[in-house]
Amino acid sequence: MATKQIEVVTSILDANQRVADEIRHIFAHADLLTINLISSPGSGKTLLLEKTMPLLKACGIRCGVIAGDIATCADAERIAATGAPVVQITTESFGGACHLEAPAVLQALGHLQMDELDMLIIENVGNLVCPAEFDVGEALRVVILSVTEGEDKPLKYPLAFHVADCCLVSKIDLVPHLNMSMEKLHASLERINPKAKRIELSSQQGDGLTEWVDWLVEQNAQKTELLEHHHAPSASTGKGHSHGHSHSH
């Protein structure tokens, strides 16, 4: 039997992208700066947020958090203890996914008073591979690399680092105890994403937190522009998705 070829040429993640675009529109309307925070499990996302919330509050920025996990509400409880509004998404109800997708974020937004927030941080599921591919409507992406993970991780998981606007190097207080080279780590980051803002910090000791919060405050001050001009970090539509912001992705 003969076969015929049918031209399709559509993005596989088209459905997710449509929801992400809808979310981006909602955030622009609400003047809400949203950050997608991505890292390996145990790299210090939740501790960083626990330390960040009071500092943002002191700067007059009202920040909420969406915490993504496969299971448990432990992260949300830790962040809620800082007084920040938190919504937990457990991906169990979305097939136990190893990453957040736009529909789960859209659903979580219904539980947030967006008009009472200036900023929203989406703590993605701990994973350097899967979340990188899924746009959740954020304006900025931040990736954390802890010094205990090894210098070569940006080369092994390039997409997560390549599409980040800011790379945080965490747990720097542990460097003296490790057989690792900060020079090599920075060289890896430089190769994959030479344009991203880079901040070394230790949530435990407090180093670098001021620089991190200053960066957030700066982004918040220029958010109208970010929200108007930022396009999806994903260029997977194959239709020449343009990037309106100044970074090269």
Interface residues with other proteins (CB under 8 A) are 1-16, 95, 97-99, 101, 129-130, 132-134, 155, 157-160, 162, 190-195, 234-236, 238, 243, 248-249
User: Could you tell me the two tokens for 139?
Assistant: 């304006």
Nearer to other proteins, 129 or 182 (CB): 129
Nearer to other proteins, 155 or 175 (CB): 155
Q: Transcribe 16-49 into DSSP letters.
A: HHHHHHHHHHHHHHHT-EEEEEEE-TTSSHHHHH
Alpha-carbon gap, residue 55 to 51, rounded angstroms: 7
Nearer to other proteins, 89 or 132 (CB): 132
Alpha-carbon gap, residue 104 to 18, rounded angstroms: 13
Alpha-carbon gap, residue 175 to 169, rounded angstroms: 11
Q: C-beta of 150: minimal distance to other proteins in Å?
A: 17
Quick check: 237 and 16 in contact, CB under 8 A? no
Q: C-beta of 237: minimal distance to other proteins in Å?
A: 8
Q: C-beta of 88: minimal distance to other proteins in Å?
A: 20
- Count of beta carbons in the 10 Å neighbourhood of residue 65: 27
Q: C-beta of 87: minimal distance to other proteins in Å?
A: 21
Nearer to other proteins, 64 or 154 (CB): 154
Nearer to other proteins, 3 or 113 (CB): 3
Q: Transcribe 62-109 into DSSP letters.
A: -EEEEEEESS-SHHHHHHHTTT--EEEEEGGGGTS-SS--HHHHHHHH
Q: C-beta of 84: minimal distance to other proteins in Å?
A: 28
